[in-house]
Amino acid sequence: MKYLGLGPQKPKVGVFDFTCCEGCELQLANKETTLVDFLSLMEIVNFREISSDKGDDYEIALIEGSISRADEIERLKKIRERAKVLVAIGTCACFGGINSLKNRYPIDEVNREVYGEMPKETLEVKPVKEYVQVDLAIPGCPINKAEVERIIVDVVTKAEIKFPKYPVCVECKQHINTCLFDLGQFCLGPVTQAGCDAVCTSGKMGCLGCRGPFEAPNFEAFFDIAKEKGFSKDYIKERLSFFNAFSEVKDV
């Protein structure tokens, strides 16, 4: 029996980083209490942050980071050819992420500002799915380790993979937080997919939508409420574009 193209044996896993801060990889290597159990489910053959092995016989490829150079496109395509299952991990890989802020300006201007007289070859930032087929996408900046563990266990044990079908507000309310809109702050929680345990809003910081939209967001109602609370159309648009996770929203 096969599931997502994988046989019943322990799958071989490779973890690869592209344009990113490597914070998602760090999350994978973190949380010592579950790390041994997690790693016992798979055979890591390539994971630069934790191992010197450089195997290319992986079945599952976990891709971290967005794509912003021509050589990254080639490397990504080679990984896709080798892997049976390709998983985009983190907001950079899923949506472009914080790196997408670069796309707000002309590429030559960005290059000059950052590298001065020594420009580098750099492209508009794009998510992984723009170049190769992505079988699973696990968003988050950074990813939620508990969620990734659950999903990888589901892949390995051939269980159904489920994501929350509700927004961050649900998790926020489970923590009995005062709504940040009532404290004069802006928050994308009502339209953003849960799964992070409302980590930002529980720390009194408005959600920036790093996990992207949930299954059935009511953007219209959300925009009406945000405007009623005094936030301008331009401000809402700017917040929505922070991680490039709401590119489907064409107008506010």
Residues of the shown chain interacting with ligand SF4 in the complex, contacts defined by CB under 6 A: 20-24, 64-65, 90-92, 97-98, 141-142, 168-169, 172-173, 177, 179-181, 187, 189-190, 192, 196, 198-201, 207-211
By DSSP bridging, strand 43-47 and strand 60-64 are: unpaired
List the one residue out of 32, 98, 4, 21 whose CA is nearest residue 64: 21
Shorter beta-carbon distance to ligand SF4: residue 59 or 171: 171
Shorter beta-carbon distance to ligand SF4: residue 22 or 130: 22
By DSSP bridging, strand 60-64 and strand 12-17 are: parallel
Minimum distance, C-beta of residue 158 to ligand SF4, in the bound complex (Å) = 27
Shorter beta-carbon distance to ligand SF4: residue 14 or 190: 190
Minimum distance, C-beta of residue 73 to ligand SF4, in the bound complex (Å) = 18
What letters, b where the CB count within 10 A reaches 16 and e where it falls short, cover 185-202?
ebbbbbbbbbbbbbbbbe
User: Rg of the chain's alpha carbons, rounded to an integer?
Assistant: 19
Shorter beta-carbon distance to ligand SF4: residue 11 or 190: 190
User: Rounded to an integer, what distance in angstroms lies between the CA atom of residue 153 and that of residue 135?
Assistant: 16
Q: Which residue is nearest to ligand SF4 (CB)?
A: 189
Shorter beta-carbon distance to ligand SF4: residue 14 or 65: 65
Minimum distance, C-beta of residue 189 to ligand SF4, in the bound complex (Å) = 2
Minimum distance, C-beta of residue 22 to ligand SF4, in the bound complex (Å) = 6
DSSP character string of 123-153: ---B-GGGTS--SEEE--SS--HHHHHHHHH
List the one residue out of 83, 87, 98 whose CA is nearest residue 137: 87
Minimum distance, C-beta of residue 199 to ligand SF4, in the bound complex (Å) = 5
HSE (side-chain half, CA atoms, 13 Å) at 100: 23
Shorter beta-carbon distance to ligand SF4: residue 6 or 20: 20
Minimum distance, C-beta of residue 151 to ligand SF4, in the bound complex (Å) = 16
User: Rounded to an integer, what distance in angstroms lies between the CA atom of residue 164 and that of residue 168?
Assistant: 9
